[in-house]
Amino acid sequence: MAHKLMLLTLHCAVVAFGLARDDGPGIGEGPMHRVYEKLTRAGRSRVSRRASKFHKPTETRVIRIVLTGGPCGGKSSSLAPLMESAKREGFDVYCAPEIATMVFNCGFSFPTPDDPRVEEKILAFQTAVFKLQLQLERSMTLIAASTGRPSIIIFDRGLLDGKAYMSGESWTQLLHDVAHDGRDVVLLGEDVSEEYILHRYDGVIHLVTAADGAEAFYKHRETQDDQGNIVFRRESAAQAIEQDRRTRECWADHPQLVVVRNPVVGVAEDGFRRKLATATEAVLTIARRAQPL
């Protein structure tokens, strides 16, 4: 089961990341099976960072960072500068896709509030997302560790993000269900708690929604994201601020939570660049501590 789940994860990641677009030289026989060589090299540092002699000289670490926040916070835009800066410091960088988006792109429609079984369906959806996220995290960590090179994995949202989209009762039920599902070889009977989840990540970077402090740039309903892709953002500005607050509260107990707000500056573009620079420096600070020179 775990093997099939991993294959499904990797296949869906190709589709969700846009690698399935038939717009470049790929490997394989069709747009659904293309792998772009440029992307496979994008996160590799030219000169690998050396482990400190003071700290175990031959040991390297895989550093796991959650990139989270409210709607239209700039998560996608932050990846390119973050990756380039980390590579210059000798880290390989891996960027994992957002699992919920992968599932939506596979054809899933989220239940509407007037659905009489809405809570049941949300629980089923979030439970499946949780398990798939955990498998992806473990698989990517294993792959990065196998290189023996200092590596950073950026997760587009983490295991605790689902809590922000559920009732407290449903979240408690989710943790119970995934911890006691004897059929699931991914979990192997582990005690799944919020403490366990928090300890999985070296840092959490929360990018505050543009609706809070940069209202003029909040993109609502059908619009284009920062990469030019058509997206539908159903949350109003007020709803986005509330969702941002709920998400931030989910991660409040992480010792390396960094909240990146929207700077107040005269030129909006300068403010956004400063926001991205702050997010990048936060990730690098955590990585340097974990893998000192």
What confidence tens digit (pLDDT) does each residue in 112-144 have?
Answer: 888 889 999 999 999 999 999 999 999 999 999
pLDDT in tens, 212-267: 999 888 887 666 666 566 566 778 899 999 999 999 999 999 999 999 999 886 66
Return the bridge partners of 257, or none: 204
Per-residue pLDDT, averaged over 175-192, amounts to: 69
* CA within 13 Å, CB half, 97: 20
Distance in angstroms (rounded) separating the CA atoms of residues 232 and 21: 20
Is this structure's pTM higher than 0.85?
no
What are the chain's domains? 49-290 (3.40.50.300)
With H, G, I as helix, E, B as strand and everything else as coil, classify residue 264.
coil
pLDDT in tens, 100-111: 988 888 888 888
Among 169, 163, 167, CA closest to 130: 163
Distance in angstroms (rounded) separating the CA atoms of residues 219 and 235: 9
